[in-house]
Structure 1
Amino acid sequence: MKLRRYLLLVGAGLAVALGSVVGIPAASAAAGPTTLPASQYTLAADYHRYDALNSALVAKLGTAAVHTVMDNANHDRTGITDSLGVAGYQTGFRFDDGDNGDCANYPQGITTSRDAIGTANSGNYDGHQLVLVSWYTKDGCDGASARSRITLVDWDATYPNKYRKILLVEATGTAAAPNFQDVKIHAGGVSWYGDYLYVADTGHGMRVFDMRKILKTDTGGTAGQIGRQSDGTTYYAHNYAYVLPQVGTITAATTSGTPLAWSTISLDRVSKSIVMTEYTCSSGCTDYPNRAPRAVRFPFASGATTFAASTTASQALQLPWYKLNGVASHNGRWWFNSSGSKQLYYWTPADGAHTYAWVGGGESISYWEDDANPDLLWSLQETVGHRNVFAVTQATYGA
């Protein structure tokens, strides 16, 4: 069964069973963004910072292609059991019981193989159509951020309903004795473009990973063991079988006087850019800025899936909304998800801003292009016990 048909059939079946499709929501008018000087925001890209160390790690550990990782997927995704009550619902899944109820791990960002390669070959990357979710791990249920990971989820009726976790790591040590350590970031947003995976790093910009360089590690260690062991040949990774090492950094700078807080990101395939936005509060927050948030667009180098060594933003906006965990843009249109208000905001310069009811605990957004069926918006919920990953028709939320 082809994926498009599968999406429609499964989505419709779940919608009827769960009562999750409601009428087209009535959009209410809202105050819209205002333009900021885009020239105030720049990026500096370095895709080769870890070349020597990563080459040494590859020589020690060997790599695993994405199709190999998915052939060894060891977790089952299941159907959504909640009635999401979200208009335009099409389809979705939730993680297994262990991940759904885990108070120390939280899903944040979302991207797909449709981001990576577009609609060609039905969006298959290395033979699989995939939904990719970023997570951060706390040191215990009430602890600080300790590490981050991604989850690769098969999303094609041809393949089993499986997913696999991959730990994000940063190379350390020397070329003679390479090692790696945890990447301790919130991983609030993620974008997959070509072979590169861009992960939001709140106070700095983005970290870059290469999906062709997944490393095989040794299992059997304890949950706390990370990196090269005393024998010099064994590499543990909190009992993960696969790790994805960072290959580069994208460092943000601004002359505006207020650094960007990289809360979440998303890919815009039409303008070949990454858009970001900030999680801020109107007042009263202690862990987040108390000011109006911004959204900024950074274009990729011409004809490439990488940024130039230096990049100036092509668009910058001041936003009237707060507690934003999700952003998406496509063909001049913007969407912003506020977990604080449970609303999805839609805006274009020509049509203005509109507000729609949205899910609670909502996180990042990814735009899903489709040549034969309506385009979708993919999103997810981080709430413990309600970790639904779901897609809605994009046209339900703006033109």
Structure 2
Amino acid sequence: MADAGMVPTDKSPYALNRASGDLAEGAQKLAEEIGSTSVEALLATANRTGRNKGAPGAIGDMRPKPAAWYAFDDKDQDTADWYPQGLTCGEDSGEIGVPVFVASWYFKPQVGERGIRVSFLSPRTLRYQHALLVEAAQDGSYAPIDIHAGGIALHGDLLYVADTANGLRVFDLNHLLDLRTAQNDLGDPTRVGRHGGKFHAFGYRYIVPQTDAWQVAQAGPKFSFVSIDRSGATPQLITGEYRENDPGGWVARWDLDLAGGEPNDAFVMGHPKIQGAISWNGTWYLSQAAGSTANGKLLVHADGELLTRPFPIGPEDLTVQGGKLWSVTEFRNKRVIFGVSL
């Protein structure tokens, strides 16, 4: 059918300004006191195990089924507190020595606030480990980050996280910190920060402090998801806005250094409920949700045409690894990382 979306639009409303503050200083102080580790080392001691083709409820009536999918463990399937949102991969980074997916989760608290976390999952072993993302002050104190984290993207050692009303937060994986190197235990599982001479992170072994930020230059645009187009000569950062019942959500592409803060181009997507977007070899792929019980759709804009492909229930952010398009699903007992052909 004729393409009804991806209409070019004014890119200036989506400009970003750098807002580093003292984030890097706080992260560096923590790194000096705790000690950094690597993603490879984290995966070697990962404490959770996913299931190959587990949680089949996430697939719903999708036919054909995904080429591959990996389910989180029973505890992470069943929790009503944490919801997967963003997805990126080791190929996006180009610096990580083993295949890996990285998924973000936001905390939907019954009581209190525990911020956002990321899961590092090996598609080879299905072992995975959570790490808490934190914001550190110049004195080395730190606290959880209360945002939705609807999308994430890796480039080099930098992890970009969508901050809905504000823009992008940046975390340097050179500051992936292992609390085990600083103390014998993981502290009080109900606390976070420095207390009683110890580091606490709600019982998590690993934390990653924020090192940088890019804030919207003018109020209005929402940053709902993030991805990276690595298909061209120069990789580009992509981000865009989810709108519930409005086809006017935008998507834009930046140079990775975000020089000047203004995107290279911007488009109106023409579809509501878009949870993730990526361009690849001149084609746009949009992940469209349909609630917790109905299958979503993959909308493919290519050569002026719109194709609709089946997708699992609750699809979110998008990334490309191993020649496949990958996403993550969010709903209870339907939480999987899945891949389909491009």
* Alignment TM-score, normalising by the size of structure 2: 0.89
Specify whether residues 32 and 53 from structure 1 end up closer, same or farther in structure 2 by C-alpha distance, changes over 3 A only: closer
Instruction: Supply the AA of the counterpart residue of 2:298.
Output: L
Q: Contact between 1:65 and 1:212, CA under 8 Å: does it hold in 2?
A: yes
Partner of residue 252 from structure 1, selected from 216, 236, 244: 216
Q: Which residue of 2 aligns with 1:276?
A: 239
Specify whether residues 86 and 246 from structure 1 end up closer, same or farther in structure 2 by C-alpha distance, changes over 3 A only: farther
Identity %: 27
Partner of residue 46 from structure 2, selected from 35, 57, 73: 73
Confirm whether residue 323 of structure 1 aligns to residue 300 of structure 2.
Answer: no
Q: Is the partner of 1:312 in helix, strand or coil? A: coil
**What is the CA–CA distance in structure 1 between the aligned matches of 2:119 and 2:26, rounded to whole Å?**
24
Q: Which residue of 1 aligns with 2:191?
A: 225
Q: Which residue of 2 aligns with 1:366?
A: 319
**What is the CA–CA distance in structure 2 between the aligned matches of 1:99 and 1:351, rounded to whole Å?**
41
Q: Which residue of 2 aligns with 1:267?
A: 228
Query: For each residue in 1:149-197, what CA deviation from the matched residue of structure 2 results, as whole angstroms up to 9, or x when unmatched?
Result: 00001123xxx331111000000252xxx21100111111000011100
Q: Is the partner of 1:240 in helix, strand or coil? A: coil
In the TM superposition, 1:202-213 aligns within 5 A as 202-213=164-175
**What is the CA–CA distance in structure 1 between the aligned matches of 2:138 and 2:21, rounded to whole Å?**
16
Q: Is the partner of 1:56 in helix, strand or coil? A: helix
**What is the CA–CA distance in structure 1 between the aligned matches of 2:285 and 2:143, rounded to whole Å?**
35
**What is the CA–CA distance in structure 1 between the aligned matches of 2:269 and 2:159, rounded to whole Å?**
27
Partner of residue 33 from structure 2, selected from 38, 44, 60: 60
Query: For each residue in 1:10-47, what CA deviation from the matched residue of structure 2 results, as whole angstroms up to 9, or x when unmatched?
Result: xxxxxxxxxxxxxxxxxx55522211022343122355
Q: Which residue of 2 aligns with 1:19?
A: none
**What is the CA–CA distance in structure 1 between the aligned matches of 2:116 and 2:43, rounded to whole Å?**
19
Count of equivalent residues: 328
Give the CA deviation at 1:230. Answer: 2.8
**What is the CA–CA distance in structure 1 between the aligned matches of 2:67 and 2:310, rounded to whole Å?**
16
* Alignment TM-score, normalising by the size of structure 1: 0.77
Query: For each residue in 1:191-214, what CA deviation from the matched residue of structure 2 results, as whole angstroms up to 9, or x when unmatched?
Result: 001110001000011100011111
Instruction: Supply the AA of the counterpart residue of 2:327.
Output: S
Q: Contact between 2:186 and 2:199, CA under 8 Å: does it hold in 1?
A: no
Q: Which residue of 2 aligns with 1:164?
A: 129
RCO higher in structure (CA 8 A, sep ≥6)? 2
Partner of residue 202 from structure 2, selected from 219, 223, 238: 238
Query: For each residue in 1:259-318, what CA deviation from the matched residue of structure 2 results, as whole angstroms up to 9, or x when unmatched?
Result: 211111111112421111211133xxxxxxx57211111122xxxxx333x221111111
Which one has a bigger Cα radius of gyration? 1
Confirm whether residue 138 of structure 1 aligns to residue 108 of structure 2.
Answer: yes
Poorly superposed stretches of 4+, deviation over 4 Å? none
**What is the CA–CA distance in structure 2 between the aligned matches of 1:220 and 1:40, rounded to whole Å?**
44
**What is the CA–CA distance in structure 2 between the aligned matches of 1:168 and 1:131, rounded to whole Å?**
16
In the TM superposition, 1:353-392 aligns within 5 A as 353-368=306-321, 370=322, 375-392=323-340
Q: Contact between 2:25 and 2:138, CA under 8 Å: does it hold in 1?
A: no
Q: Contact between 1:111 and 1:266, CA under 8 Å: does it hold in 2?
A: yes
Q: Contact between 1:32 and 1:352, CA under 8 Å: does it hold in 2?
A: no
Q: Which residue of 2 aligns with 1:18?
A: none
The answer for unaligned runs of 5 or more in structure 2 is none
